[in-house]
Amino acid sequence: MKVVSTEFIKSATKPEQYPEGLLPEIAFAGRSNVGKSSLINAITQRKTLARTSSKPGCTQLINFFTVNNQFSFVDLPGYGYAKVPETVKRTWGPMIEMYLKNRASLKDVILILDVRRDPSEQDMALMDWLRYYQINPIVVLTKIDKVSRNQAKLRQRQIKEMLGLSSEAILFSARTGEGKDAVWGCIMENLV
């Protein structure tokens, strides 16, 4: 996929604030600090389109971007970070569920997991929500540069089983760029 233009549109917390859903949309979800924003930047080849941080809880709003004026990407706030203020934690669930429920232009969700960690309770809860809304997520296992090839393959099998996936999760690294083409392949399949 050749990315010729990207544009940050706006941040939102509730449906009234979402931009008009004129373009097909892909959302990126996962626990805090897993690498959602880094994945968006890696596949669009932009260093700072989505804000990244080594401090968890960086993205606390729903951020909308357009790519090539053809489709739209959404960086969802990460969950599961203990130090996020209580008020933010309480609004996270409803904020994400509202988005999943109300966004007619949403074509698919990319669920991002750290290849080294088992899916958390919240990852599982999100899987259940997605299934409930009949969204079959693209699962991406990121930070594979931190483990050996064999370990990555093993984790891929284990996580597939734990989540009950019908297809393989994608092995990805924002650091090396591995898996970018596979992620794009899945995104494009869902945009048509």
Provide the binding-site residues for ligand GTP, judged by CB under 6 A. Answer: 30, 32-38, 52-54, 56-59, 78, 142-143, 145-146, 173-175
Q: How far is the CB of 20 from Mg ion (least distance, A)?
A: 24
Burial tier of 128 (Cβ tally within 10 Å: 0-12, 13-18, 19+): exposed
Q: Does the protein bind Mg ion through residue 59 (CB under 5 A)?
A: yes
Q: How far is the CB of 179 from ligand GTP (least distance, A)?
A: 9
Candidate list 6, 33, 37, 63; residue touching Mg ion; CB under 5 A = 37
Q: How far apart are CA 13 and CA 126, in angstroms?
A: 18
Q: Near Mg ion by CB under 5 A, which window of 2-10, 55-63, 95-103, 180-188?
A: 55-63
If you search the block for the tokens 């599961």, which residue do you land on?
80
Q: Does the protein bind Mg ion through residue 60 (CB under 5 A)?
A: no
Contact between 21 and 103 (Cβ < 8 Å): yes
Choice between 97 and 145, CB closer to ligand GTP:
145
Q: At what angle do helices 86-102 and 121-132 cross, to 10 degrees?
A: 20
State the binding partner of 33 from ligand GTP, Mg ion, none, CB within 5 to 8 A by kind.
Answer: ligand GTP
State the binding partner of 142 from Mg ion, ligand GTP, none, CB within 5 to 8 A by kind.
Answer: ligand GTP
- Of 13, 57, 60, 59, which Cα lies nearest the Cα of 40? 59
- Of 142, 105, 145, 107, which Cα lies nearest the Cα of 123? 142
Which residue has its beta carbon closest to ligand GTP? 78
Phi, psi of 156 (to 5 degrees): -60, -45
Q: How far is the CB of 102 from ligand GTP (least distance, A)?
A: 21
Q: How far apart are CA 75 and CA 28, in angstroms?
A: 5
State the binding partner of 35 from ligand GTP, Mg ion, none, CB within 5 to 8 A by kind.
Answer: ligand GTP
State the binding partner of 57 from ligand GTP, Mg ion, none, CB within 5 to 8 A by kind.
Answer: ligand GTP
